[in-house]
Amino acid sequence: MVNDNGDCKKWGFSANNEIESASGLTVRGVLNTLKNATNPEDERLTIPLGHGDPSAFPSFITAQVAEDAIVDSLRSSKFNGYSSTVGILPARRSIAEYLSRDLPYKLSPDDVFLTIGCTQAIEIAMMVFARPGANILLPRPGFPYYEACAGYRKLEYRHFDLSPDKGWEVDLEAVEALADENTVGMVIINPGNPCGSVYTYEHLKKVAETAKKLGILVIADEVYGHLTFGSNPFIPMGVFGSIAPVLTLGSISKRWMVPGWRIGWLVASDPNGVFKETKIVDSIISCLNISGDPATFIQAAIPQILEKTTDDFFNNAITILRNSAEFVYDQIKDIDCITCPHKPEGSMFVMVKFNSTLLEDINDDTEFCLQLAKEESLVILPGIAVGLKNWLRISFAVEPTSLQDGLLRLKAFCQRHAKK
């Protein structure tokens, strides 16, 4: 029987549809909820320690040469047309050169595919490996966009744990135990979101050796590449591409602090040519043929951005991030219900453990963050949003004065709710 609304049951959304549940899983979805929970009558500005976009803060304005590159590209009137679906050659070439600086072999422009930020690189990677019965191994805690993309494409995912007591290294025994003959690959995020970890050469080599043993590839999310400020330098996973094939994902969003420019890359860091041989490269090209491209004039600005940005810009950002990371780490020590197992050494985040038993009336991380948003206009991400219940992810890439203010509010909140 057709009701008054016609046959809408065929296409209307049921309460539990997959798009809604996938988007509820994302960091953005959770942060929107928290932002909406802040009290409009609080005259203080909301302090956003929940997300990783420092671009609005004066201390993190991008390099002038990067802005000039966009202006020059636009003004040339040469880049008003569609680009090729894999990206324009000068941009692919310059990304190949930029990444090859840190590799023991040279990437070719043909190994590089331009994407709409690292986000689309993740989408394409999940699309390429989604086939009936296949599974992929994801880190926990991690970046929930992987789960959302894999789930949406019906690619099964399984979680391996990162160990907080070992600098959030991958539990490689767990990886071996999880993998089976249908496992296609494992994801690592280095420098780490949400943990602020930076893996050593030795650990990354072990990751590659484990992947080789299991016959799987490594998807290396290096969107925070070079944003390191501890004792471990950034080592790209591609260094070990001859042990196991590596798909490197990245963008200029974080290192240049321009996530709104929406340009990134997906790169076959695979000196043995396994991806070509197994037609993975063809599959990437097919996926790009049926998806959108980054704006052509932004692509065309890439060579100037990558070649002309000076170390002054990078060093300045690193110095601020290092000081901010130290500041948060020190302040947390004074808060009883929060502990930090590992001082952040990279990216823009720290994961801290939350002990609800020390508080009067708050039972878990979600309640904590909601109440914090309401009472203090302070937004922090509940760990559950990145896969770890009763942890919190704090972003320290904000203006240092806001960070100080934010930590004061956090302390006041925890004291007010502490068991007497």
Ligand X SMILES: *Cc1c(COP(=O)(O)O)cnc(C)c1O
Specify which residues 251 forms β-bridges with: 264
Which one, 342 or 393, has the nearer CB to ligand X? Answer: 393
Closest residue to ligand X, based on beta-carbon distance: 117
Instruction: Tell me how far CA of residue 177 lies from CA of 137, 142, 212, 338, in angstroms.
Output: 11, 19, 15, 32
Nearest to 97 by CA among 108, 110, 81: 108
Considering the complex, state which of residue 262 and residue 409 has its C-beta at the smaller distance from ligand X.
Answer: 262
Contact 264, 127 (CB under 8 A): no
Q: Which is nearer to ligand X, 275 or 349 (CB)?
A: 349
Residues 171 and 162 sit within 8 Å (Cβ to Cβ)? yes
Q: Which is nearer to ligand X, 301 or 414 (CB)?
A: 301
Closest by Cα among 93, 90, 121 to 287: 121
**Residue 327 class from Cβ within 10 Å (0-12 exposed, 13-18 middle, 19+ buried)?**
middle
Distances (CA, A) of 170 to 189, 199, 203: 10, 9, 8
Residue 120 Cβ vs ligand X, minimum distance, rounded to whole Å: 7
Nearer of residues 26 and 316 to ligand X, judged by Cβ: 26
At closest approach, how far in Å is the CB of 52 from ligand X?
6
**Residue 267 Cβ, how far from ligand X at the closest point, in Å?**
14
**Peptide bond preceding 54 in cis form (omega within 30 of 0):** no
* Contact of 120 with 264, CB cutoff 8 Å: yes
Task: Give 265 or 413: the residue with its C-beta nearer to ligand X.
Answer: 265
Complex with ligand X: residue 62 or 251, whichever CB lies closer: 251
Q: What single letter denotes the amino acid at residue 115?
A: T
User: Residue 119 CB, nearest distance to ligand X (Å)?
Assistant: 3
Alpha helices per DSSP H over 273-310: 274-277, 280-289, 296-308
CB 92, min distance to ligand X, A: 17
Least distance CB 7 / ligand X (angstroms)? 38
Q: Tokens 């559950």 belong to which residue?
A: 384
User: Under a CB-based contact definition with an 8 Å cutoff, are residues 191 and 228 in contact?
Assistant: yes
- Count other Cβ atoms within 10 Å, centred on residue 384: 18
Closer CB to ligand X, 35 or 212, in the complex: 35
Burial class (CB in 10 A: 0-12, 13-18, 19+), 305: buried
Cβ 264 to ligand X shortest distance, Å: 4
Q: DSSP secondary structure string, 6-75? A: BSGGGTSPPTT-HHHHHHHTSHHHHHHHHHHHS-TT--SPPEEESS--GGGSGGGPPPHHHHHHHHHHHH
Binding stretches for ligand X (CB under 6 A): 52, 117-119, 143, 189, 193, 221, 223, 251, 253, 259, 264
Q: Identify the residue whose tokens are 């993740």.
A: 122
Q: Do the Cβ atoms of 332 and 339 come closer than 8 Å?
A: yes
Return the number of the residue (183 or 251) whose C-beta is nearest ligand X.
Answer: 251
CB of 232 vs ligand X, minimal distance in Å: 18
**Residue with smaller CB distance to ligand X, 143 or 413:** 143
SS3 91: helix
Give me the least distance between CB of 327 and ligand X, in Å please: 21
The least distance separating ligand X from the CB of residue 40, rounded to whole angstroms, comes to 29
Return the number of the residue (245 or 346) whose C-beta is nearest ligand X: 346
As measured in angstroms, the least distance from the Cβ of 250 to ligand X is 8
Other C-beta atoms within 10 Å of 261: how many?
23
